[in-house]
Structure 1
Amino acid sequence: MATPTTSTKLLLSDFASTVQNVPSNYIRPINERPNLTQVQVSDASSVPLIDLDGLDGPCHSEIIEQIGLACQHEGFFQVKNHGISGEMINNMLNIARKIFKLPESERLKSYSDDSSKTTRLSTSFNVKTEKVANWRDFLRLHCYPLQDSIWETVDKFSCNV
């Protein structure tokens, strides 16, 4: 993939600091914007917290029900006792930070606007079909099952981070 010119940067992080105004493709028409008087923002203390500690035991169905209810009513939830160590989480966050700090030419090796790709660096949600883009870049890494995804991830990032 050829490196894009300044006017055709693929990742938001590569042009956001140089623009004076928000580009029109990031501005949602007024009639499509949420009515902020109707949007309810909950505080962090009201986010459902689900304890996965008993997932392999007799509480399995109760925990699954809690997850289903949280998805239905809130659309999201937090979990605790998920079995992922704090060290592993910190290592993953550090690697992600390093990936986003790579030079543009290196990051673009992992760029894709194909929403079906399991490992990709992109912007917005689906740049091929969206009329209005979302102001974000993201790194998508599928890691489960590990044996199905590890080599794609290693091939893209191991030499760069």
Structure 2
Amino acid sequence: MATAATKLLLIDRVPGINRVPNSYIRPEADRPNLTEVEASDASTIPLIDLQGLFGPNRDDIIRQIGKACRRDGFFQIKNHGIPEEVVQAIMNIAGEFFRLPESERLKNYSDDPSKSTRLSTSFNIKTEKVSNWRDFLRLHCYPLEEYMHEWPTNPPSFR
């Protein structure tokens, strides 16, 4: 288990710090220059409706996704088919996981970026010079039967 001086996850460090640690501060040369950033409104984010993905509009929807990837590098979707209750249940279970004691959460911790299921605070701690201000739990999900056995067993509702 990590000691107070070697906390692995950000969530466990935050209560004991009163300033951003240097290991999370990017050099000015690596930061975005906000005077060069163009402001845009939300209407410029591509919004792709997946409603007809498995119907006659499939080719058009796939073209929209390709165009958004090439032009913008990201997009937003609607009508993805996941019920709101399922999304909320997943968010609740994730919250339960991150509220577990540190010793329980760290059973899922790994520095290995190739692991399909891992808790970490960085993409590759061994190579990054500056860490990102985040903790994450990465889970591969498809096909479910190939990955679910790797998922956390606590909280019990997780699987």
TM-score (norm 2): 0.91
Please say if residues 127 and 133 of structure 1, whose CA atoms lie closer than 8 Å, have aligned partners that are also in contact: yes
* Mapping for residues 63-82 of structure 1, pairs under 5 Å: 63-82=61-80
- The match for 2:108 is 110
Compared CA separation, residues 115 and 42, structure 1 to 2 (3 A): farther
Determine what percentage of the aligned residue pairs are the same residue. Answer: 59
Please say if residues 7 and 13 of structure 2, whose CA atoms lie closer than 8 Å, have aligned partners that are also in contact: yes
Please say if residues 123 and 134 of structure 1, whose CA atoms lie closer than 8 Å, have aligned partners that are also in contact: yes
- The match for 2:54 is 56
For 1:134, what is the secondary structure of its paired residue? coil
- Would you say 1:124 and 2:122 are equivalent positions? yes
- Consecutive unaligned residues in structure 2, runs of 5 or more: none
Cα shift at 1:40: 3.2
Please say if residues 110 and 156 of structure 1, whose CA atoms lie closer than 8 Å, have aligned partners that are also in contact: no
Cα RMSD (Å):
1.7
Distance 1:15 1:160 in 2: 27
Deviation string, structure 1 residues 80-138 (Cα, Å, up to 9, x no partner): 11111111111100001111111100110011111111111110222121000011111
- Would you say 1:159 and 2:156 are equivalent positions? yes
Deviation string, structure 1 residues 40-96 (Cα, Å, up to 9, x no partner): 343333321111111112211111111111112222111111111111111100001
- Would you say 1:140 and 2:138 are equivalent positions? yes
- Would you say 1:101 and 2:102 are equivalent positions? no
